[in-house]
Structure 1
Amino acid sequence: MLLLFRLLSKFPLRLLHAFGALAGWLTYAASKTYRRRYQANVRIAGMAWPEARGGIAHAGRMILETPWLWMRPPTQPLGTALRWDGAELIEAALQNGKGLVLLTPHLGCFEICAQAYAETFAETRVQGRARLSPITVLFRPARQAWLRAVVDASRGRPGLATAPANLAGVRQMIRALRQGHTIGLLPDQVPPQGLGVWAPFFGLPAYTMTMAGKLLQQTGAAALLIWGERLPKGQGFVVHVRPAPQIAPEQAPESAAETINKAMEEMIRLAPDQYLWGYHRYKQPRGLDIAAAPAEHQEKV
């Protein structure tokens, strides 16, 4: 598999996206479970099918572009494959020196966001002085040994560090923020038992991480919304940055989670054809008693 990853990384992005679109539709056609979940999530969100069906091809593109992103030499810049929309918001946020939390849903190419930040902002100037401001992203370690090796080698780029999705990783991210650095989170990722609350996501209760809100409350860091739009015909990506909603210091975890979920919904509505609708967003977290879910959590997805 590692050899295949290396081979695919040599292909042009345009070709990978073309093959990926085909793979996405083949997967959709072959898996009844995936197809049912995809359609249910679109229905829950109140999206018209023509708005969301493009996500089938984009899910395949996401998989096939991964070797290109992960195996790219650390010294090779993204160059013309990267464009920014709203980069000035990051520049302004870094000036406060209290750290920055970047929030993105499973929308478009979320892998590109951390790489783009590291390449553009890991070394910045604050009050006229050069300062390092790397990014640390939260991730779940892969179960397969070969994939763990690929992830460790590819995601550990200059200006980009990773933190495991456990208590040690949370401490690592707190330290990063208190040093004035940046962290990246996918707040629509289902957290393990005890690390989330039930909050509405497109109107249906979803187990939602509390980490994002708590990190902002504990450190006073700034927050921004960010997502990577995948351009047609392998032309690259546009990384969009937008203001994030404020989380008050006294805001309860449930309220903070709902606020962040609403922000994720608004981003998804900007480009529903690039959202990962097949993601099992409404699943029960591991180890959580089914009775702990709200009574209205009945729809099978």
Structure 2
Amino acid sequence: MPSVFRFLSALPLRLLHAIGALLGWVAFGASATYRRRFLENAARAGYRLREVRSAVGHAGRMVAEAPRLWLAPALPPCEVRGAECVERAWEAGRGIVFLTPHIGCFEMSVQEGARRWAPEHGPFTILYRPARQPWLARVMQTARNRPGIHAVPTTLQGVRQMLKALRAGRAVGLLPDQVPPQGQGLWSPFFGRDAYTMTLAARLVQQTGAAVILARCERLPSGRGYVLHLEDLPEPLAPTLDAAVRQINQAMEHLIRQSPGQYLWGYARYKQPRAEAHTVETGA
């Protein structure tokens, strides 16, 4: 399987996206559970299939482009819009928490940010959960620790490293619409229905005074590359945890509505959190 990944990483992005779009529609047609969840989640946000049908293909593109982003020696082209909000945070000497939902090429968000800012401001720290398959774990370990990126485990030690990075004025990246394990989140509205939402992003900001930057990496047609859109959180993060988590969910809704045709509507956003033996907290 690693040799297949190496082969795919050498293919043109345009071809990978074409293959991925086909795979996305195959998955949509083959899985009634996935299809139902996709349609229900989109409808909850006010969209019909005809308005977000491109998201079916983009889900497949996300999978197909991964070998290229993880293993190719050079990244595809990526234009950055809104970089001035990041520069203001660096000039103020603040750490930065980059937040992006499961939209577009979120893998490219951190890679482009690291390519642009890590040489001057230090590596971007991201949480990393190893894959269960040994071969995939090895591939992902290589990918997650590309130049300018520091991948840390989803453990208390990993969270401590994120806090350390922020207090040193560096950057971290999170997907706050990812369902955390039991005990690491709060139930908070997301498109009108309570969803179990991580508290980690809010806690990191509240404990370090870091700036919050919202990120959305859009795929361009025909494999031409990407556009990374960056913007400030509209208002300072609320001081109470419940209000801060709600505010972050609202910010994710805002980003998704900017490009609903590239959001992963099939993601099980409203599932019950899984139980884990060890709970990650940021107070230590």
Amino acid at match of 2:100: T
Equivalent position to 2:137, from 131, 148, 153: 148
Equivalent position to 1:275, from 241, 263, 266: 263
Equivalent position to 1:198, from 187, 195, 198: 187
- Alpha-carbon shift at residue 36 of structure 1 (Å): 0.8
Residues 158-206 of structure 1 show CA distances to partners (whole Å, capped at 9, x for unaligned) of 2111122221211110011011100000000001111100000000000
Aligned to 2:224: 235
Residues of 1 paired with 2:35 and 2:128: CA distance? 26
Residues of 2 paired with 1:144 and 1:246: CA distance? 42
CA RMSD of aligned residues (A): 1.3
Amino acid at match of 1:240: H
- Alpha-carbon shift at residue 77 of structure 1 (Å): 5.0
Amino acid at match of 1:104: T
- Alpha-carbon shift at residue 247 of structure 1 (Å): 4.5
Aligned to 2:148: 159
Matching of residue 109 in structure 1 with residue 109 in structure 2? no
Query: Is the Cα contact below 8 Å between 1:77 and 1:119 reproduced in 2?
Result: no
Amino acid at match of 2:266: G
User: Under a length normalisation based on structure 2, what TM-score does the superposition of the two structures give?
Assistant: 0.94
Residues of 2 paired with 1:55 and 1:140: CA distance? 25
| Matches for 1:196-275 after TM superposition, within 5 Å | 196-248=185-237, 251-275=239-263
Query: Is the Cα contact below 8 Å between 1:216 and 1:247 reproduced in 2?
Result: no
Query: Is the Cα contact below 8 Å between 1:118 and 1:134 reproduced in 2?
Result: yes
Residues of 1 paired with 2:35 and 2:75: CA distance? 37
Residues 74-121 of structure 1 show CA distances to partners (whole Å, capped at 9, x for unaligned) of xx354xx11111112111111122210000000100000111011111
Aligned to 1:59: 59
Residues of 2 paired with 1:164 and 1:104: CA distance? 19
Distance 1:187 1:156, change over 3 A: same
Query: Is the Cα contact below 8 Å between 1:14 and 1:235 reproduced in 2?
Result: yes
Aligned to 2:177: 188
Structure 2, unmatched stretches of 5+, are: 277-284
- Alpha-carbon shift at residue 248 of structure 1 (Å): 4.4
Equivalent position to 2:80, from 84, 89, 96: 84
